[in-house]
Amino acid sequence: MKVKERLFTPGPVPLPPEVIKALGQQIIHHRTPEFTKAFMEVREKLKRLLKTERAPVMFASSGTGSMEAAVTNFFRRGDRVLVINAGKFGQRWRDLAKTFELKVVDYEIEWGKTYDRERILEIIGEFPDIKGILVQHSETSTTTLHDVNYLAEVCKKLDDCILVVDGITSIGVYEVYPEEIGIDVLVTGSQKALMLPPGLSILWFSEKAEERLEKSDIGKYYFSVLSEVKKQEKGQTAYTPAINLILALNESLNLILEEGLPQLARRHEVMAKATREALKEIGLKLLSESPANSATGAYAPAGIDADEFRKVLLKLGFRVAGGQDHLKGKIFRIAHMGYFDVMDIVQVIAGVEFALEKIGYTVEIGKGVRKAQEIVLEYI
């Protein structure tokens, strides 16, 4: 059977036609008024996206580059930080912090769960010198949402603490307004809900975080925020920028802002809810106790290898992600962030039903799809 391939992985996600068109063009030079104009437009649109007057800086790197910049620019060697370590990307915060000689309070959490408020209070009681809390807003490896509002409150209770948030799979999915929430450093990457290829990362920081820039004693050059701020305010970059990704971002931000941020958040909420409820209706168990709206993880039925199930699903055209580390072969993850609509969800759920049936797990065909449709119907 000939099928179309459909990408439902949590990054990269499908590109809208407007982005593909912007990418497939002859290059322009970056030291030109034309590029500077586009760059400044992107800055303005990013400010609207984050509801702030402070423009973020951009780096030619994948999201991990901006995570590194968050660690190396806003701390000093030996600073103590609390890492909310609840998955693959929580581990990355921990590893980055250790690499650059921070003292890490590693709050390890079972994958699929979020932090416990009591435990957080115990930790800050024990370590009142914590200089930063590092967290994923949405932990992609476990499709889990961490409440960043509460962590912002906690941070404010401490003497000198900043809240550092990996928003790689939450920006463009939720309304993430760092000043309203109380986030000090917020990073994201291009290949998630911003609907671009990988290779561009974005870092926003608060006034409070800015005060730390001059004081930081950790070595950095390519990811020096100070070097970039000075240049990017004028529509240039310290080193050659990812020109075609910036031009494409100018297009994808149009799509995001034209839809409107509350509508965009609502669309993602509905897509996520429809996916979750449909999978439950089919009889599957969700991975996360605090599921995010960017992607949904679920366990394969007992006795079925999740990666085998994914192969069957791929034959039907649907590429979904598997589990990492100890979750490998146990779970699958369906992304629904960025260039997806509610009809995509109806379709992928139908695919999941078919694939389960094919692999020998009996399902009532159409049951999950109907559930997804019912939820979507309230929205359309």
Q: What are the residues binding a copy of itself (CB under 8 A)?
A: 7, 9, 11-15, 20-21, 23-32, 60-65, 68, 72, 95-96, 99-101, 189, 191, 197-200, 218-223, 239-245, 319, 321
Q: Which is nearer to a copy of itself, 232 or 373 (CB)?
A: 232
Q: Which is nearer to a copy of itself, 277 or 307 (CB)?
A: 307
d(CA 297, CA 300): 10
Q: Which is nearer to a copy of itself, 183 or 247 (CB)?
A: 247
State the minimum distance, in angstroms, from the CB of residue 68 to a copy of itself: 5
The residue type found at 66 is S
Nearest to 365 by CA among 374, 354, 376, 375: 354
State the minimum distance, in angstroms, from the CB of residue 31 to a copy of itself: 8
State the minimum distance, in angstroms, from the CB of residue 153 to a copy of itself: 30
State the minimum distance, in angstroms, from the CB of residue 314 to a copy of itself: 9
Q: 261-282 and 342-359 helices cross at what angle (nearest 10)? A: 20
Partners of 7 in beta bridges: 319
State the minimum distance, in angstroms, from the CB of residue 124 to a copy of itself: 26
State the minimum distance, in angstroms, from the CB of residue 25 to a copy of itself: 7
> How would DSSP label each residue in 366-377?
THHHHHHHHHHH
Q: Which is nearer to a copy of itself, 182 or 189 (CB)?
A: 189
Residue with tokens 């760059």: 39
Q: Which is nearer to a copy of itself, 221 or 258 (CB)?
A: 221
State the minimum distance, in angstroms, from the CB of residue 239 to a copy of itself: 4
> How would DSSP label each residue in 148-179?
HHHHHHHHHHSSS-EEEEE-TTTBTTB---HH
Q: Which is nearer to a copy of itself, 92 or 267 (CB)?
A: 92
Structure tokens at 351: 């695919």
Nearest to 13 by CA among 309, 312, 340: 340
Q: Which is nearer to a copy of itself, 242 or 256 (CB)?
A: 242
State the minimum distance, in angstroms, from the CB of residue 28 to a copy of itself: 8
Which bin fits 51, alpha (ψ -120 to 50), beta or left (φ > 0)?
Answer: left
The contacts found for 348-351 with CB under 8 angstroms, 24 or more apart, are 348/6, 348/8, 348/275, 348/318, 348/320, 349/274, 349/275, 349/278, 349/279, 349/282, 351/313, 351/316, 351/317, 351/318
Q: Which is nearer to a copy of itself, 198 or 283 (CB)?
A: 198
The residue type found at 154 is V
